[in-house]
Chains A and B, each alone.
Chain A
């Protein structure tokens, strides 16, 4: 999923899946993320930071 918002104080960021559906994702396990980064998400939690920037990513 692509990160769409800054990370909140609670460690949550809005992320978008390839179909454009947005949801809250806990990003505390993958370190700081920036808008446009790509993360691998499982059950509402990012478990891997896949890449930075606005790549054409899932």
Chain B
């Protein structure tokens, strides 16, 4: 399979592993954050961290879109889903994210009409098929997913669809990175940049990281060799005393992004003054709402919802995991009370969540890593 197989070559992986080993200073500990949940998934699926020297630590960031949705927003989604006559649509993993009173899946079992879709276009199709019902799409995701919601809403508007609404929870990746850089909890040496977000926004929005914080960022692809090469590129910058935005994922990421996608985002969305992130709290200008031109599609204006801020369960340490302060297996309930089958926290729900990825691909290596 082109674009994938050639980036999974085990022999080349060993070569890169050796180059990485030669580029680190003995006695120095390196902390590199992979921002995107897709990278976390690849790291555990292919054992990328096993190919790194012991003094190169990968820290998982807040880049899993399902993981960062706070409980209050899930409660609001369930409240909308329980409205009579509503067909509530969402991606499959969102159905299993716990709110304070349960999940959308449980609401479905209680009688709410909750349906899984693969794309917002599927939700719009349901709206066309049921003109007598109101169809709501639970929009989540970063700049990678937001264009899909934008195009769908543009189509709905062009077609004059009146029974389609969007419960918008799209977020942007730069503000939480900035929040992490300001956090005293973390001292990071560099970032593995989110490849598919950069396909849309380009690499330029990340230039503030080297310019203001003196840290390198390398935009990376999602295959194991991509990640190894990105780690190597970061370590080379550090060894040479440089810091810059570099693009390892040139086969997919134009430095300026996708102008058409950016135009669609600018047309359909506007920045919220602030948005709550699980584990990170409220971050200014980090969430998207529908713009004035698309207010007729805004589920938050259409339906009464509780809008109550809900604290995470005390046992759950997703917040610390999302900030990279602790590793998944250091959470008190990891693998015992919290599993992919019965998740307590969001990080155990999505395949891009650090806890789920670690549980599914790496839990039996736990003792080795703790040592």
Contact = CB atoms under 8 A, between A and B. Distances in A.
A18 B260 CA distance: 26
A44 B151 CA distance: 10
Interface stretch (B142-150, B160-168, B184-192): B142-150
A55 B121 contact: no
Given A43-B120, A43-B145, A57-B2, A48 B260 contact: no
A43 B141 CA distance: 10
Nearest to A24: B121
Interface in A11-58: 11-12, 18, 23-24, 26, 28-31, 38, 40, 42-45, 47-48, 50-51, 55-58
Contact of B147 (A11, A18, A29, A56): A29
A47 B2 contact: no
A43 B119 contact: yes
A4 B295 CA distance: 35
B1 A47 contact: no
B260 A29 contact: yes
B258 interface: yes
A45 B119 contact: yes
Contacts of A11: 151, 155
A50 B253 CA distance: 10
B2 A26 contact: no
Contacts of B148: 26, 42-45
A48 B258 contact: yes
B199 interface: yes
B171 to A, nearest CB: 14
Interface in B1-34: 1-4
Given A12-B121, A44-B120, 8 more contacts: A28-B151, A29-B264, A42-B148, A43-B91, A44-B148, A47-B199, A47-B261, A56-B2
